[in-house]
A and B are shown apart, each in its own frame.
Chain A
Amino acid sequence: MSSASNHTPPSGLAAWLTSETPHSRGHAKCVQLYLGWLSLARNPLAMLGLAIVLILIAAALLAPWIAPYDPISQDLHRRLLPPGTDGNLLGTDELGRDILSRLLYGSRITLYVVALVVVTAPVAGLIVGTVAGYAGGWLDVVLMRLTDIFLAFPRLVLALAFVAALGPGIENAVLAIALTSWPPYARIARAETLTIRNSDFISAIRLQGATAPRIVIGHVMPLCLSSVIVRVTLDMAGIILTAAGLGFLGLGAQPPQPEWGAMISTGRMFILDQWWVAAMPGLAIFTVSLGFNLLGDGLRDALDPRAGR
């Protein structure tokens, strides 16, 4: 194997990170994380996905410094310039705004949407799923029927209703997305919990006198977490696309905010003659979605406890 040549016996930090006999809680955690990282790093596609996601984060953080122009300042003398024009690497849109700058600033909105959904939907799903699965009985029935009701709502239609009721804006769009995307996580978490619930190690901790909340939070949730994380990264593409879709329909971010979906929406009018106005944000959405998908696939392999080491 080609990797055999660079596999010298570890020393220093590497030895500390791969130690078979960790000396403290923190050390054990580091070793665990490092080994997980190693198994993820073996997958080149996952690394590509990770790189894309990191670039997205870097672009969002550094947008004010790396963007050549203000994303909303118009210059009608320089409208609809093709990519490669001097000073406008990716061209300009119908109001003479630099597309590269708008994409860079737009990544902030995309990341904002992603972050908001991540801290709401999977957390809610994880709690509902593990509680339902562990408690069983009527609580399980009530929570899972509730999940079914939310699962039956078409995402975009609910989002439309929300936006119609609360007014258009990125926060309302995110709220709508979060409300419709937690049920799958609840389903996954419940299925995992059902298999974990009857295992001996849960019986053992019950016999130590642990309360149900302690068991669910400390013992069940950590085991459900990896499948939920994987599902989140795989769903991320869909979430970005929904946010873009709402932007496209004019119900998400409002002009002149440089949201990718909204950019495609306006670029639609020039698609035949000035294709880049719509194609550039489209390419950005495509790349970021792909990045999250690749990362999710890699994480699934790295986090799967059955894969072993």
Chain B
Amino acid sequence: MTAPLLEVDGLSVRFPSRNRVVEAVRNISFSVGREKVGIVGESGSGKTMTGRSVLGLIRPPGIVTARKMMFDGIDLLALSEKQMRDIRGNRISMVMQDPKFSLNPVMTVGKQIDEAYRVHSGASARDAKLRTLEMLEAVRIRDPERVYNAYPHEVSGGMGQRIMIAMMLVPEPDLLIADEPTSALDVTVQMQVLAIVDDLVSQRGMGLMFISHDLNLVASFCDRVVIMYGGQIVETCKAADLHNAQHPYTRGLLASLPRVDRPVDQLSTLVREESWKLEPGVDARIL
């Protein structure tokens, strides 16, 4: 097998504060091929920091260290800020949870997507508009012409998120990092949006890092799952095997989910063990 699209070895993210150092991510190793990798964890597990550090988006005083961070033969650790900017949004895109903060409020939606496309492809304004409308339609926006001329405050949250996804996908990135991209969306819209991403992975060979807290969704959508707890990877497995997970944390999470088809009197709750934080963690690379 060839080298994976993204290989990360020994990644740590630290935030020194006045009297102690917060370790958000602790020495994790994982890889993303041309596949859908789900990174699951609760708030504070370090999953968001993991995604951000791949794109070099951790701001000082945060400190990112890694033994290796290779993206398609490029050493991400050795890149200058300018080189990183070229990769960001062009070869690696990121969709964040809240679209309102990611869209420029004084520019129409269409213009923003156009720009994202033209910077990447150097296409003419006409072509860019056609492509943008096509992309808006692809993310199931019913009236693309109207949305094209709308300002971000004129669209709903769910629509805003679909616009963000369209914008991130229009330069046809090799790797998409999606941080809770659909948790603000209704289930039916969520499924339609995921279908678009799914097609891009299967047809164009895009890699996807799907960061989510939703175990069921990740299990049904992704190929591989990485479970994070306390800044470490505690378990990794094929998504289809998630329901046979071994680690008590994963099992505890799964058991605490209410199910439509399986009524219980009382939900089981998760009892966290201190020892989980002391475990060495799991290497989630497939090389």
Contact = CB atoms under 8 A, between A and B. Distances in A.
Are any A and B Cβ atoms less than 8 Å apart in their complex?
yes
Interface of A: 1, 3-4, 7
Contacts of A4: 18-19
A1 B20 CA distance: 11
B203 to A, nearest CB: 44
Interface string B10-21: 000000001100
6 contacts: A1-B18, A3-B18, A4-B18, A4-B19, A7-B18, A7-B19
Contacts of A3: 18
B270 to A, nearest CB: 24
A4 B19 CA distance: 7
A78 B196 CA distance: 91
Contacts of A1: 18
A270 B77 CA distance: 68
A306 to B, nearest CB: 14
Nearest to A8: B19
Contacts of B18: 1, 3-4, 7
Nearest to A9: B19
Q: Which size class do B's interface residues fall under?
A: under 10
A7 B19 CA distance: 7
A11 to B, nearest CB: 15
Contacts of B19: 4, 7
A3 B16 CA distance: 13
Interface in B1-59: 18-19
A172 B19 CA distance: 53
Nearest to B17: A1
A3 B19 CA distance: 9
A1 B19 CA distance: 9
Nearest to A3: B18
Interface string B54-91: 00000000000000000000000000000000000000
A1 B18 CA distance: 8
A3 B18 CA distance: 8
B278 to A, nearest CB: 24
A254 B19 CA distance: 56
Nearest to B16: A1
A4 B18 CA distance: 7
Nearest to A7: B19
A21 B64 CA distance: 34
Nearest to A1: B18
A67 B268 CA distance: 76
A302 to B, nearest CB: 15
B193 to A, nearest CB: 28
A246 B19 CA distance: 51
Nearest to A42: B18
A206 B19 CA distance: 41
A1 to B, nearest CB: 7
A7 B17 CA distance: 12
A307 to B, nearest CB: 14
A7 B18 CA distance: 9
Interface string B210-239: 000000000000000000000000000000
Contacts of A7: 18-19
A1 B17 CA distance: 10
A294 to B, nearest CB: 23
Which 6 A-B pairs give the minimum distances between C-beta atoms? A7-B19, A3-B18, A4-B19, A7-B18, A1-B18, A4-B18
A9 B19 CA distance: 10
A301 to B, nearest CB: 15
